[in-house]
Amino acid sequence: MVKKLIEQNRSCRRYDPSRALSKEEFRGLVELARLSPCAANRQTLRYALADGQRADIVFDSIMWAGYLEDGAPKEGERPASYILLLHDKNLGAADLVSVGIAIQSMLLGAVEMGYKGCIFGSIDRKRLKTALGLAENLEIVNVIAIGKPAENIVIEDIRLGDSIKYYRTADRTHHVPKIVTSDLIVEL
Ligand SMILES: Cc1cc2nc3c(=O)[nH]c(=O)nc-3n(C[C@H](O)[C@H](O)[C@H](O)COP(=O)(O)O)c2cc1C
């Protein structure tokens, strides 16, 4: 079960723009993050849903698919919803392991709901924080696009040393190279 969810949890960059995440679905995903482990149980992360016009603001502040020539989704294939992963800097430094766990919990929940997502680390954080009018103490850590996928995504097994760059083919398929298990295990 977990393997299937993880296999389906691929980074998606073309969406059905008419399918926004509902407030209830958003709350359900935050609930999964809330229940996830975090360093010293500090719980410094906060979550915001950006949809409608705010989704356009987010779109203009993130960088899509660095390995592709033209990786950003065209009008008509952009996600209608994003979740902003925020850290309350009044509570100390952000712990990135905790951030990763919270994001993965939400993404697996999104897959279970029939969605796919994409994590963004390449963000114009200053611009986005100002444009959204976020409180001073809230730092943008990551952005996650979430929506109904409008592309096929397949895993391609590769060997250590092969190209790790994802690529697209004309049949609207996004190919994600993943190094085979045997090449990842270090024998002691
Ligand atoms: C921490 C982190 C930051 C990422 N930042 C971006 C980003 O800024 N833009 C983007 O298009 N994809 C981003 N991605 C998605 C990766 O490109 C994607 O995970 C990778 O290509 C493997 O594909 P997969 O998620 O389907 O396994 C990010 C992923 C992670 C985990």
pLDDT at 118 over 90: yes
Ligand 1 binding pocket, CB closer than 6 Å: 10-11, 63-65, 118-122, 166, 176
- Widest distance between CA atoms in the chain: 53
The encoded tokens of residue 79 equal 């996600």
Structure token digits, residue 7 = 């296999």
| Contact indicator for 7, 155 with CB cutoff of 8 Å | yes
- Output the CA 144–ligand 1 centroid distance in Å: 10
Distance 64 CA to ligand 1 centre (A): 9
Question: Cα torsion for 34, 122, 77, 74, to the nearest 10°?
Answer: 170
Atom 3 of ligand 1, nearest CA residue: 121
Kindly give the number of the ligand 1 atom that is closest to the alpha carbon of 10: 26
Per-residue confidence at 1, pLDDT binned at 50, 70, 90? Answer: confident
* Fold (topology level) of 2-150: NADH Oxidase (3.40.109)
Rounded CA separation 27/34 (Å): 10
- CA 12, CA 149: separation in Å to the nearest integer? 7
Ligand 1 pocket mutation pick from 108, 119, 158 by most atoms within 8 angstroms of CB: 119
Query: How many of the other CB atoms lie within 10 Å of CB of 40?
Result: 9
* Per-domain boundaries in the chain: 2-150, 151-188
Identify the CATH homologous superfamily for domain 151-188.
putative fmn-dependent nitroreductase like domains (2.20.180.10)
Whole-angstrom Cα distance, residue 14 to residue 24? 23
What tens digit of pLDDT does each residue of 142-152 get? 999 999 999 99
Query: For the chain, what percent of residues have pLDDT higher than 90?
Result: 99
* pLDDT tens profile 14-65: 999 999 999 999 999 999 999 999 999 999 999 999 999 999 999 999 999 9
